[in-house]
Amino acid sequence: MTQTPLDQADFLDEARRTHAGAPEFLQALEEITADIWPVLEQTPEYRKARVLERLSDPDRIIRFRVSWMRDDGSVAINRGWRVQHSNLLGPYKGGLRFHADVSESEIRFLALEQTVKNALTPLSLGGAKGGSDFDPSGCSEGEIMRFCQAFMMQLAPFIGPRRDIPAGDINVSSREIGYLFGAYRAQTQTFEGALTGKDTGWGGTCLRAEATGYGLVHFASLMAEEAGRSLDGACVAISGAGNVALHAAERALKYGMSVRALSSSQGALAWKTSASQDDIERIKQARKNRNADLESLASELGASWHGGRKAFDIPADVVLPCATQNELDADDAAQLLDQGCWLIAEGSNMASTADAMVRLRETDSVLYAPSKAANAGGVAVSGFEMAENARFSAHNPDDPDAELKRVMADIHTLCLDHAPSKGDYAAGANIAGFHRVARAMLDQGVA
Ligand code: NDP
């Protein structure tokens, strides 16, 4: 790495060279850099301390092999990662993702985003992310348990309630967290809050499963209100049909919205009027039974199936991408604007491609919120779970949803207060998060 502070173009050139094999990480870094460079130019102590350069490399990347046994006795081998990005604001914190496409670049971008996101919450949380290229589809219950145990055998030495506290993410829900926690407990012979997303019967907190999706819709409601509009009566298209998407759909109904679409990696499910709460429960049940093929559920749900299509193809006032990164591209953005969509809030991390983001940010006709602000409800409630575990308390707030709403409202205000122009949530989130991490870095010296 060059040993003097660089200008923006040189910084990005060097980043492109250094992180050439990590396209998603570079995308996230370039997006943050564009927004915070003016801040760096106005704050010489940040430049002198080389805050951005220091933040553009994670504290460490832990990579390991996970060997485990299939039901038929054959040995399977996967790769696992934990990227501990920054613990300047608190212990490392971020989810674990199990998906065949997981790569080191993906985990690195998620860890960087998590650091900025966690800095937007009022809590003491650093940023990290982890996962494996393990594909759980088609695996038996026993195989999933053995994989989780083998994964934790490698990860356990690096985590702990004051060190690094993983949670769930794609294909890691309360069941996997249970197996991971059981393996951690047995291996370390301690019962401690080394993971969040636990069942409420043994250390979890209520509303953790719902928090990301509910928080997303609370955030969208605040955006609408700020613009003098309302979600009540609006129709929404939601991509994905997992934890975040289904809880967002559930909450959207409570706000008086019609849920027009959900989706999976195979296609989109569309309703003429709206999905009902019963429809959402039916999909949740199918997911629990590992039988969530949306196409086969379509007629039972009174919906139509559109194979190979996206939820964004179904016209809606509001769009909530809740599946995976880069799922909303420039063509989708153009189509949504043509269809009159007026609000997009990201539930999935870095839901929009760089081109789509430019398109959405340059127009006044749509309100746009990036994931690091809009989906922070999940990690915030994880923070409550950590605090309860540290106190050995199973006390949950009387009204956790009201607590969640307060956190989302604080993040919403923080974004607006730091936005260089009215309603620029993306820049507001990057600048607010960056400032908090940068100040901690200056205060804590060169370490
Ligand atoms: P789930 O595993 O519960 O659901 C993921 C959903 O997204 C499924 O419907 C899945 O469809 C779809 N999906 C996954 N990969 C792809 C792909 N490559 N293309 C199209 N669809 C895909 O995950 P979550 O709901 O927990 O997470 C969804 C997003 O929200 C992720 O970006 C995650 O990082 C983010 N997030 C989650 C949080 C949480 O608390 N869980 C917290 C903050 C962010 P299929 O079943 O067909 O694969």
pLDDT digits (tens, 9 = 90+) for 165-216: 999 999 999 999 999 999 999 999 999 999 999 999 999 999 999 999 999 9
Full-prediction pTM beyond 0.85?
yes
What integer pLDDT is reported at residue 291 of this predicted model? 66
For ligand 1, atom 48, the nearest C-alpha belongs to: 265
From the CB of 212, is ligand 1 less than 6 Å away?
yes
Q: Is pLDDT at 379 greater than 90 in this prediction?
A: yes
Write out the E strands in 21-87. Answer: 60-69, 75-86
What integer pLDDT is reported at residue 104 of this predicted model? 97
The rounded mean pLDDT for the chain is: 96
Q: How far does residue 445's CA lie from ligand 1's centre (Å)?
A: 38
From the CB of 127, is ligand 1 less than 6 Å away?
no
For ligand 1, atom 20, the nearest C-alpha belongs to: 265
Report the sign of the C-alpha dihedral through residues 178, 180, 183, 188, in that order: negative
pLDDT tens per residue across span 244-290: 999 999 999 999 999 999 999 999 999 999 999 999 999 999 988 77
From the CB of 347, is ligand 1 less than 6 Å away?
yes
Domain boundaries, the chain: 60-192, 210-374
**CA dist list (Å): 33 to 11, 15, 39, 94:** 9, 11, 10, 22
d(CA 65, CA 78): 6
d(CA 129, CA 116): 13
CATH of span 210-374: 3.40.50.720
**60-192: CATH, from 3.40.50.10860, 3.10.310.30, 3.40.50.300, 3.40.50.1580:** 3.40.50.10860
- Do the domains spanning 60-192 and 210-374 agree at the CATH topology level? yes
What integer pLDDT is reported at residue 292 of this predicted model? 73
What integer pLDDT is reported at residue 156 of this predicted model? 98
What integer pLDDT is reported at residue 7 of this predicted model? 87
Q: How far does residue 265's CA lie from ligand 1's centre (Å)?
A: 10
From the CB of 433, is ligand 1 less than 6 Å away?
no
CB atoms within 10 A of CB 43: 17
Mean pLDDT of 387-393: 93
Report the sign of the C-alpha dihedral through residues 86, 88, 94, 96, in that order: positive
**CA dist list (Å): 23 to 108, 191, 354:** 10, 39, 11
**DSSP run (H or E) holding 148:** helix 141-155
From the CB of 266, is ligand 1 less than 6 Å away?
yes
pLDDT tens per residue across span 153-163: 999 999 999 99
Q: Do strands 318-320 and 343-345 pair parallel, antiparallel, or not at all (unpaired)?
A: parallel
Q: How far does residue 17's CA lie from ligand 1's centre (Å)?
A: 30
pLDDT tens per residue across span 42-67: 999 999 999 999 999 999 999 999 99
From the CB of 91, is ligand 1 less than 6 Å away?
no
Of 153, 231, 163, 158, nearest in space to 186 by CA: 153
For ligand 1, atom 28, the nearest C-alpha belongs to: 323
**CA dist list (Å): 103 to 57, 65, 97, 279, 372:** 17, 13, 10, 34, 20
In the chain, % helix, strand, coil (3-state, to 5) comes to: 50, 15, 35
Of 355, 307, 364, 361, nearest in space to 329 by CA: 355
The preferred substitution site among 83, 118, 132, 265 for testing ligand 1, maximizing ligand atoms within 8 Å of CB, is 265
From the CB of 94, is ligand 1 less than 6 Å away?
no
What integer pLDDT is reported at residue 335 of this predicted model? 98
Confidence of residue 147 (pLDDT cuts 50, 70, 90): very high
Atom of ligand 1 nearest to the CA of 110: 34
pLDDT tens per residue across span 5-17: 678 999 999 999 9
Of 10-14, 143-147, 412-416, minimum mean pLDDT range: 10-14
Q: Is 129 a catalytic residue?
A: yes
For ligand 1, atom 33, the nearest C-alpha belongs to: 348
Q: Is pLDDT at 2 greater than 80 in this prediction?
A: no
Q: How far does residue 8's CA lie from ligand 1's centre (Å)?
A: 34
Confidence of residue 397 (pLDDT cuts 50, 70, 90): confident
What integer pLDDT is reported at residue 3 of this predicted model? 65
Q: Is pLDDT at 139 greater than 80 in this prediction?
A: yes
From the CB of 118, is ligand 1 less than 6 Å away?
no
Q: How far does residue 324's CA lie from ligand 1's centre (Å)?
A: 5
From the CB of 240, is ligand 1 less than 6 Å away?
yes
Q: How far does residue 239's CA lie from ligand 1's centre (Å)?
A: 9
